[in-house]
Structure 1
Amino acid sequence: MSDLHLGIQTLAQFGGGQSWRLALAHDRAHHTLLWFTRGQGRILMDGRRRGLGTHNAVFVPAQTLFAIDISPQTLGQVVTIPVGTPLRLPDMPRHLRVRDVHVQAELGALIEAAQREQSQTRPLAHDALEAHVALMSVWLRRQIMEEEHIPSPRSAGERLSRRFVQMIPKHFTSGAPVSFYAAELGVTPTHLSRAVKAATGKTAADLLTERVVHAARSLLEQTTHPARNIAAHLGFGSAAYFTRFMQQHAGASPSQLRAQAPRGGQQAAQNPRTNTPRSRASA
């Protein structure tokens, strides 16, 4: 199923059977509603890291940086919603711990009904799927209104971390270093990295690196673009440095990662745009 289509997947399908797809910090081109039904883990979202558990609902708007660290035994469903949908959705990330069993059952029933419509070939199945997802959006907004789900106040460091991660999807392909983000935010690189580390458990450089690695692996595995084009798209000054970077941070060269990719995932597409390389050109 395309990431840009309305639909339901299992958590395993969403991760494509590869842990890095969820564990590395990244953003997606669609809105995402995740419903966890078994297991535990941690989620990095909106500039801070929190624990995940059974009957947690997470809404991730498009272009929101997030990462999920879960065990293979964790189960759940994922609703992907394209940008531009007429559905009324929250405009910010939300993480809800749902304790009421009736409320849990309500969302579970909506997802099951949507899955049935998606798997069958009945007339107007897509219309029915949209209607079920519309009810999920109502469910989500009702829960957000509950007092128990009002987010806790953020510290100054957490607010800075949130502003930083909001910038990453817009700038990570430029090759800009942490100092660029710090200057834009009006702080020193050291202060920024300390704040991000305290809020997320990872440094600012770690999150930037993860976003680049995730994009690189996705392009290598899902497209036929030459590695040199992918390198230029991601702000690297040379294909050779891109190779060293991937060997260091992904444990394999671009050609090895492409050879190891699950078959059937590659597709032709327009060439990635070329960006003027900045920090990675001389790193």
Structure 2
Amino acid sequence: MDRIAKSLGLFLVCLMANSVPNFFVYGEPDRPLEPGFMHVETVMARKNVHLGRVDAHSHARMAQITFWTKGHGTYFIEEQRLDFLAPAVSFVPSGVVHGFTVEPSETDAIVVSIADSALAPLDERTILPIDAPVMIADTGDPASWARLSRIMQQMADEYREGRPGMEMVLTALATVAMTEIARFGSGQTGDLRPAQTVLASQFRQLVDRHFRENWPVERYVDELGTTPHLLTKACQSAFGLSVKEFLSERRLLEAKRLLLFTVRPLEDIAYEVGLKDAAYFSRFFKHHTGQPPSVWREQYPRH
């Protein structure tokens, strides 16, 4: 088995589970978060839990910034894989499946967890889209990495010391860190978050909660208090998709997660993503990927 297969095989370990696990922080059960919750720690603070291999999981209520300060490894976001050498950084919104494999004696990172309730107010203060995952490595000048490193280290220091006003300082620093991450990819420093992007963000969150229920487009329009035209325009601008295409893509993403990270049969997966039966699900999946779900699943190692 080649190196790629071995790396991805380490990631696909939730094979006997019925779903990809949601955690509070890795290894701890999901739980409600206080308004404005933020948490900062190093990856290796939990090395006794993961031993350098963090399996496929997501966080239902919070996003994470992970800044790799030393070492190297393989990071996974959904089915995408990236080998990295520090420095590297990722931003993963809530609900996105991710994980990594690293050598714990050589590698470490600062992880900042931000509750959705704390992240939402930052949406208009940063140029980083808060709805899409991103990982950056092997790009950017040394001065940019040094600047981001100082910001992340200051966040770690603030959290560890717990001095008065810590929450306000962490919020401000998180905003700056997210903007620095965006600058690596775009080089832009202006405000990229128009009103229609806010609408698109609200739409995505609503779809995440209700796509299994097969809501018609009109239901989303009503819930968002908008018009079909404005929702279509926002969705096309933010995602490059029509509203119906976005709904299909969200269903397809969930199907891929379940195919990759569980051993549930096609009948169960069809039901889980809101489709009526396995045959219809197979047609839907093949239409969007060019392959039946069983064939697509077989491409990924299970050992």
Asked whether the two chains share a fold, i.e. TM above 0.5, the reply is yes
* Equivalent pair of 1:40/1:54 in contact (CA under 8 Å): yes
Which runs of 4 or more aligned residues in structure 1 lie more than 6 Å from their structure 2 counterparts after TM superposition?
Answer: 160-163, 168-175
Tell me, yes or no, if structure 1 residue 120 matches structure 2 residue 120: no
> SS where residue 184 of structure 2 aligns?
helix
- Structure 1 window deviating more from structure 2 (64-73 vs 177-186): it is 177-186
Deviation at 1:177, TM superposition (A): 2.0
Q: 1:234-249 maps to which residues of 2 (within 5 A)?
A: none
Deviation at 1:166, TM superposition (A): 3.8
RMSD across aligned positions (CA): 3.5
Tell me, yes or no, if structure 1 residue 31 matches structure 2 residue 63: yes
Tell me, yes or no, if structure 1 residue 80 matches structure 2 residue 168: no
**Cα separation, 2, equivalents of 1:43 and 1:82:** 22
Q: 1:127-142 maps to which residues of 2 (within 5 A)?
A: 127-142=168-183
What amino acid is the match of 1:87? Answer: L
**Cα distance change on mapping 1:24 and 1:162 into 2, 3 Å:** farther
What amino acid is the match of 2:285? Answer: G
Which residue of structure 2 lines up, in the alignment, with residue 177 of structure 1? 265
* Equivalent pair of 1:9/1:79 in contact (CA under 8 Å): yes
**Cα distance change on mapping 1:23 and 1:7 into 2, 3 Å:** closer
* Equivalent pair of 2:252/2:285 in contact (CA under 8 Å): no
What amino acid is the match of 1:193? Answer: R
* Higher relative contact order, structure no. (Cα contacts within 8 Å, ≥ 6 residues apart): 2
Gaps of 5+ in 2: 1-23, 26-32, 189-247, 271-277, 287-291
> SS where residue 122 of structure 2 aligns?
coil
What amino acid is the match of 1:31? Answer: A
Tell me, yes or no, if structure 1 residue 56 matches structure 2 residue 68: no
**Cα distance change on mapping 1:123 and 1:16 into 2, 3 Å:** same
**Cα distance change on mapping 1:190 and 1:6 into 2, 3 Å:** same
**Cα separation, 2, equivalents of 1:109 and 1:173:** 36
What amino acid is the match of 2:115? Answer: P
**Cα separation, 1, equivalents of 2:251 and 2:140:** 30
* Equivalent pair of 2:258/2:264 in contact (CA under 8 Å): no
Which residue of structure 1 lines up, in the alignment, with residue 297 of structure 2? 193
String of CA shifts for 1:182-239, please: whole Å, max 9, x gaps. 7264322333214xx3xxxx35xx5xxxxxxxxxxxxxxxxxxxxxxxxxxxxxxxxx
Q: TM-score, normalised by structure 1?
A: 0.56
Which residue of structure 2 lines up, in the alignment, with residue 94 of structure 1? 134
String of CA shifts for 1:163-183, please: whole Å, max 9, x gaps. 755446789999842453572
What amino acid is the match of 1:67? Answer: G
Tell me, yes or no, if structure 1 residue 18 matches structure 2 residue 49: yes
String of CA shifts for 1:118-165, please: whole Å, max 9, x gaps. 122432121111111111121122223149xxxxxxxxxxxx999755
What amino acid is the match of 2:163? Answer: R
**Cα distance change on mapping 1:23 and 1:119 into 2, 3 Å:** closer
Percent identity over the alignment is: 21
**Cα separation, 1, equivalents of 2:150 and 2:122:** 19
* Equivalent pair of 2:44/2:108 in contact (CA under 8 Å): yes
> SS where residue 57 of structure 2 aligns?
coil
Deviation at 1:41, TM superposition (A): 1.0
* Equivalent pair of 1:26/1:66 in contact (CA under 8 Å): yes
Of residues 124, 134, 147, the one that matches 1:106 is 147
Q: TM-score, normalised by structure 2?
A: 0.52
* Equivalent pair of 2:58/2:96 in contact (CA under 8 Å): yes
Deviation at 1:99, TM superposition (A): 3.9
What amino acid is the match of 1:62? Answer: S
Deviation at 1:75, TM superposition (A): 1.4
**Cα distance change on mapping 1:102 and 1:173 into 2, 3 Å:** closer
Which residue of structure 1 lines up, in the alignment, with residue 78 of structure 2? 46
Q: 1:156-175 maps to which residues of 2 (within 5 A)?
A: 165-167=253-255
Tell me, yes or no, if structure 1 residue 69 matches structure 2 residue 101: yes
